[in-house]
Structure 1
Amino acid sequence: MTLDQITILSILAVTVVLFIWGSWRHDMVALASLLACVLIGLIPPEHAFDGFGHPAVVTVACVLILSRGLQSTGAMDVFAQRMIPKTGSATLAIGALTGVGALMSGFMNNVGAMALLMPVASGVAEKHHLPPGKVLMPLSFGTILGGMTTLIGTPPNLIVSGFRASAGAGSYGMFDFTPVGLGVAVVGILFVCLIGWRLVPERTQAGAATFDTGTYLTEAQVPEKSAVAEKTIWEIARMLEDEDAQVVGVVRDDGRVSPARPRHRVRVGDILVIEAEPESLTAAISQLGLKLEGEPSEDEKDKKDESEGKSASAGVPRREKRDRRKAAEAEAGTEEEKKGSRDGKKADDGKEEKEGGERDKERGGDLQLRELVVMPDSSLVGRTIQFLRLPAHYEINLLALSRQGRRSVRRLRSTPLMAGDALLMMGTDDNLNTFAYEKGCVPLAQRDITIPNKEKAAVALLAMALAVAGAAFGLLPAAISFATCVLAYMALKVVSLRNVYESIDGSVIVLLGALIAVAEVMESTGAADLIARWMLSSIAQGDPVIALVILLVVTMTLSDFMNNAATAAVMCSIAISASAQLGVNPDSFLMAVAIGASCAFLTPVGHQNNTLILGPGGFHFGDYWRMGLPLEIMVVVVSVPMLLWIWPL
């Protein structure tokens, strides 16, 4: 073993450990790994960032933009709604929903497909009196399975195709993954729909109208006339005996959270940190006579109504200001009518404007509560509410936070948000929609963020179909075909120019660009050959079929605990080296990597869709393996014979 081999294997081992540890973001870990290779001398500085120009990276960026267009135009909404049966059993509804998710994931980003169908899953769960997790987990697994059926369905497929091209065998076609991927997906979806969903643990009562987001941590201030002023925490606990709530912390003048000790006496002005179920939160606040921290007082509401358009409403959207101005002008017109003004037409016009302003206010002016889930690619991840300045920028407030499976008693304003967090927000309908759309959140109620545009939806579908056809029939390389489609989206304003770059998940691009270069070092130093030789001699005993199974299982296991794209980048070099040493077809080994990297069903961290349902489904870390483990075993049993048949050794 040479010094370069020892070095790159050490860097790779540390990288894998950091991925699994999860304390650092995956793009930070990948970039650190790349820079370590450069500083040590394994990669020349002038070639450090060659991976960012790799066709797989370009294609992933393009697919993310195209998925945004399919979402924002509502092109997939009507399709999804029509495919879900209105009548029938829960098994039929879950099967149809999972199948639609899988089909959509074959041609768009599977996280986007999951986000589109989550509100539909909510309706299915409510209609059939099921806990939402019973529908959400099958949907998540279905969208993951569907992604493995086409070249653009998931980043690992693009990475595998890129490594095949680097080995001199050319890239895979658009539907080269379909025979094996479709077979595995069909069997997997049948298992999920007929048996698997029954294995999902119940985390909420049947018939619940909302997702079980677990308990919320919320902050409430003790006003002067509160029922808990000068009472001890123990006395407050007795008041909450009939409610599913408890006081877990107290905040005083220094702004720090102190543990809620039984003998601690509450004073006026204190802020209580309360843990409660969503259904019990309102009752607990009302019974104790508290004021939610983010909720404006009645005086503030009145002052806000009187100050129309002044500095207090600096963050109000222009449309709301215009509606208020119309209402004021209409009211003036009505006064003229009452006084018998000579200009009767002006008075009538004023009356009509007043009625229109009142209708607009009814649509979006009333304060309401809404639960939003932070998506994995949301710009909120890692940021605090204090930093976001929600009241000033969006005129909304965060009232409570739910982080299922983790309990951290901290100030809400200083708590960094994480993917899967459920946020209880208060504001007008329009402002909440704007915030959710711009910041990458999914509402847990009927989704009304996107207004379908039939013309643009048709353009989006046509352009996407042409791009897929161009790549499928070999008219253009995949990266060029989809980049052309992106240009068409921009020119035809299917996606606004501002949203084009917001659609690209920078962390994924950095991850891919960095790890492709690191994986190439494994090949150039012979480290991949070394690992493959050890695996073949010590475990597989030179049998290519056993080697194929081992490669598939190892890839699948790594993908459960680290990013699937990172797993594919690491394992591709080993797959190519192993096939070369055995003298067999490398396609069967590369396809095994593609299948294994896509099948992350044991944990919430293996795939973004699993993370997305963690809070809404009320899941714990250990809930996924109950359906995920038999599904992964089934994937191995089905995929190995199909790999040997479609891509013979």
Structure 2
Amino acid sequence: MAWDAWLSLSCVIAVLLALALTRIAPDALLMASLAFLVVSGVLDPSQALAGFSNPGVMTIGALYVVAAGLKETGAVLWVANALLGQPATLKRAQCRMLVPASVLSSFMNNTTVVAMFIPAIQEWSRKLGLTPSKLLLPLSYIAILGGTCTLIGTSTNLVVDGLLQSEKQVSLGMFDLAAVGIPVLLIGGVFLTLFADRLLPRREGVIEQLDHAREYSVEFVVAEGGALVDKTIAEAGLRNLRHGYLVDIERGGRLMTAVPPDTQLMSGDVLIFIGAPECARELRRVRGLTPANGDIHKLDIDNHHRCLVEAVIGSDFAGLGQTVKASRFRSRYQAVILSISRQGQRLPGKVGDIQLQVGDTLLMETGQQFVEQYRYRKDFLLVSALNDSTPPDFHKAPIAMAVLSMLVLSAASGMLSILEAALLAAGGMLVTGCITVSKARRYVDLSVLIVISASFALGAAMTTSGAAQAIAGALVDARMAPWLALAMVYLLTTLFTELITNNAAAVLMFPIAMSVAEQLGVDFMPFAVAIMFAASASFMTPLGYQTNLMVYGPGGYRLLDYLRLGAPLSLIVGTTAVGLIPMVWPF
């Protein structure tokens, strides 16, 4: 290989290792690699920046707005509640859940579908007496499978279609993938229905663990004329209690949440503490405090003064690896963590001493504005909020569904391209008031668009430098059976997508797959379609696909649960896809 091929390959390996082993933001890594390839002379600026004008990337951006309109109007929840019904058994419940989730995920962002279904299924499970852990992971998996049925079902399909348009002048139709996607969905759905109950254990999610997680609340009053009047919380010695911690102060009928340590105490303040039963005994020894009612009782989650938010820590959370106290969580987010659940278990000990990790599920008490303020941030994957102050605008749900229907019909009939239909649908959501411009802007995930666009530069470098051809030559020879080469490409893409982002995996594998087809002298389409399916088939880890991480805490799952159910599902999906793809797109 030439020097530029070695340089390109080294850059790709460095990016892969950094994505898999570090916490550096993927968009920062990919943009750094793009800059390196331009400065080193491997690519000229027009080649490096071509991804930012790719139609597939622009289509994804427009579809973010369409999905936002569907979410803000409650259209997904409206359809889900209509279809879920009241099944009597777990098997029927799974079937009633799998159908609407797979259909909706075929036409909109998987993350939006799962985010809307999680609180609905949690409430549904409580009403029917079912275990959420039997339903939430299958929900994530069926949403992934449903997304493979149409071109707009997942961003990976649009990315690969954009590459085909720019490099091969080939474009797929809306339902071209359905010939393979629907059988894969049906076979995967049958597997989940038959075996999810057997392979997934009964686990309690954070809401089901509420009685254990929130421990006990005790209330004490600052005695009039006592020793604590006009002292700050820290000066009173209430900042570092051994068996509990101060959550709220009720003053003059007003509840003060997330109070900082320099807050001055006043006569008659009602201090609300959370902790172990020994907390009450510890507080009785504090001079100037008297029990409010002498009773220890569970917190009332329906209290209208409180807003409870359940959130899963994402990879961009600023305090990863730090304790709650060291991360200054209370002052940074104006929220108090009531409990932390990891792998389905409430973490013991004082909350302030727990080190925060990706996937931890936090149950927080905060103000009503928290959900709106952090809904669009990447610190958390917000799953559900109790007493949400901004309920969906349900009367516009039929309008949002009509806009989505027009998108699908116009693109499927060939009247408009996918990009044109998506742009018009996004405009329709804005014009009809299904979503405001400011909210639509915040729903567009620029970091994902940057990752995808910058990944194109790596793919271009692999192709122009000859590195992709060299890798293909090492993987196959001219005598290898095409179906075996197809299986190798599928397996390698699946491995990449479990370690890095699914879109980056697709972009990096595309030039290699094209070179494999060229060396074998066969058509490239089976390999392109295999990348679409393999890059989406992330079932074995919670971090491989965002929806897997979203159900991690609410379902109370552990890593082994993903392997137990995801590994056989991945094998079934891969075998089915590799077997069917050459029948639809012959070599």
TM-score bracket relative to the smaller structure: 0.7 to 0.9
Separation of aligned partners in 2, 1:214 and 1:173: 51
Q: What pairs up with 1:267-278 in 2 under 5 angstroms? A: 268-269=237-238, 271-272=240-241
Higher Cα Rg, which structure: 1
Aligned equivalent of 1:194: 194
Q: Once the 2 structures are TM-superposed, how far is the Cα of residue 622 of structure 1 from its aligned partner? A: 3.0
Aligned equivalent of 2:439: 499
User: Matched residue of 2:248: which SS?
Assistant: coil
Aligned equivalent of 2:463: 523
Q: Residues 559-590 of structure 1: CA distance to partner in whole angstroms, max 9, x if unpaired?
A: 11211111111111111111122121211111
User: Matched residue of 1:296: which SS?
Assistant: strand
Q: Residues 217-254 of structure 1: CA distance to partner in whole angstroms, max 9, x if unpaired?
A: 999999999xxxxxxxxxxxxxxxxxxxxxxxxxx989
Residues 117/383 of structure 1: CA separation in 2 closer, same or farther (3 Å cut): farther
Separation of aligned partners in 2, 1:598 and 1:496: 31
Q: What pairs up with 1:3-402 in 2 under 5 angstroms? A: 3-204=3-204, 210-211=207-208, 268-269=237-238, 271-272=240-241, 290=244, 292-293=245-246, 295-298=247-250, 301-302=251-252, 304=254, 366-368=304-306, 370-374=308-312, 376=314, 397-402=336-341
Separation of aligned partners in 2, 1:380 and 1:458: 39
Separation of aligned partners in 2, 1:28 and 1:216: 37
Aligned equivalent of 1:463: 403
Partner amino acid for 1:422? Answer: T
Separation of aligned partners in 2, 1:210 and 1:115: 16
Unaligned runs of 5+ in 2: 223-232, 257-300
When normalised by structure 2's length, the TM-score is 0.80
For structure 1, which segment, 437-446 or 63-72, has the greater mean C-alpha deviation from structure 2 after superposition? 437-446
Are 2:421 and 1:424 equivalent residues in the alignment? no
Separation of aligned partners in 2, 1:129 and 1:473: 44
Q: Residues 32-79 of structure 1: CA distance to partner in whole angstroms, max 9, x if unpaired?
A: 221221222112235432311111111111111111100101112221
Residues 371/544 of structure 1: CA separation in 2 closer, same or farther (3 Å cut): same
Q: Once the 2 structures are TM-superposed, how far is the Cα of residue 469 of structure 1 from its aligned partner? A: 2.3
User: Matched residue of 2:75: which SS?
Assistant: coil
Separation of aligned partners in 2, 1:431 and 1:364: 18
Q: Once the 2 structures are TM-superposed, how far is the Cα of residue 636 of structure 1 from its aligned partner? A: 1.9
Q: Once the 2 structures are TM-superposed, how far is the Cα of residue 523 of structure 1 from its aligned partner? A: 1.0
Aligned equivalent of 1:637: 575
User: Matched residue of 1:153: which SS?
Assistant: coil
Q: Once the 2 structures are TM-superposed, how far is the Cα of residue 186 of structure 1 from its aligned partner? A: 1.2
Residues 146/378 of structure 1: CA separation in 2 closer, same or farther (3 Å cut): farther
Aligned equivalent of 2:259: none
User: Matched residue of 2:522: which SS?
Assistant: coil
Partner amino acid for 1:210? Answer: I
Among all aligned residue pairs of Structure 1 and Structure 2, give the percentage whose two residues are the same amino acid: 28
User: Matched residue of 1:297: which SS?
Assistant: strand
Partner amino acid for 2:135? Answer: V
Residues 542/79 of structure 1: CA separation in 2 closer, same or farther (3 Å cut): same
Residues 210/405 of structure 1: CA separation in 2 closer, same or farther (3 Å cut): closer
Q: Residues 156-180 of structure 1: CA distance to partner in whole angstroms, max 9, x if unpaired?
A: 1011111211232322111111111
Residue 86 of structure 2 contacts residue 128 of structure 2 at CA under 8 Å; is this kept in 1? no
Q: Once the 2 structures are TM-superposed, how far is the Cα of residue 422 of structure 1 from its aligned partner? A: 2.3
Q: Once the 2 structures are TM-superposed, how far is the Cα of residue 518 of structure 1 from its aligned partner? A: 1.3
User: Matched residue of 1:560: which SS?
Assistant: helix
Separation of aligned partners in 1, 2:53 and 2:355: 33
Separation of aligned partners in 2, 1:406 and 1:414: 16
Q: Once the 2 structures are TM-superposed, how far is the Cα of residue 460 of structure 1 from its aligned partner? A: 1.7
Residue 106 of structure 1 contacts residue 153 of structure 1 at CA under 8 Å; is this kept in 2? yes
For structure 1, which segment, 436-445 or 109-118, has the greater mean C-alpha deviation from structure 2 after superposition? 436-445
Residues 408/54 of structure 1: CA separation in 2 closer, same or farther (3 Å cut): farther
Aligned equivalent of 1:574: 512
Aligned equivalent of 1:647: 585
Residues 214/163 of structure 1: CA separation in 2 closer, same or farther (3 Å cut): farther
Residues 16/437 of structure 1: CA separation in 2 closer, same or farther (3 Å cut): closer
Q: What pairs up with 1:437-476 in 2 under 5 angstroms? A: 437=375, 442-444=382-384, 451-476=391-416
For structure 1, which segment, 6-15 or 400-409, has the greater mean C-alpha deviation from structure 2 after superposition? 400-409
Separation of aligned partners in 2, 1:573 and 1:176: 22
Separation of aligned partners in 1, 2:66 and 2:326: 31
Partner amino acid for 2:179? Answer: P
Residue 101 of structure 1 contacts residue 142 of structure 1 at CA under 8 Å; is this kept in 2? yes
User: Matched residue of 2:189: which SS?
Assistant: helix
From 411, 419, 423, the equivalent of 1:479 is 419
Aligned equivalent of 2:430: 490
Higher helix share: 1
Separation of aligned partners in 1, 2:570 and 2:422: 32
Over aligned residue pairs, what C-alpha RMSD do you find? 4.0
Separation of aligned partners in 2, 1:548 and 1:517: 24
Partner amino acid for 2:521? Answer: G
Q: Once the 2 structures are TM-superposed, how far is the Cα of residue 203 of structure 1 from its aligned partner? A: 3.0
Unaligned runs of 5+ in 1: 226-251, 255-266, 274-287, 307-362
Q: Residues 399-429 of structure 1: CA distance to partner in whole angstroms, max 9, x if unpaired?
A: 444444899999978999766432222246x
Q: Once the 2 structures are TM-superposed, how far is the Cα of residue 453 of structure 1 from its aligned partner? A: 3.2
Are 2:552 and 1:602 equivalent residues in the alignment? no
Aligned equivalent of 2:480: 542
Residue 206 of structure 2 contacts residue 553 of structure 2 at CA under 8 Å; is this kept in 1? no
Residue 493 of structure 2 contacts residue 505 of structure 2 at CA under 8 Å; is this kept in 1? yes
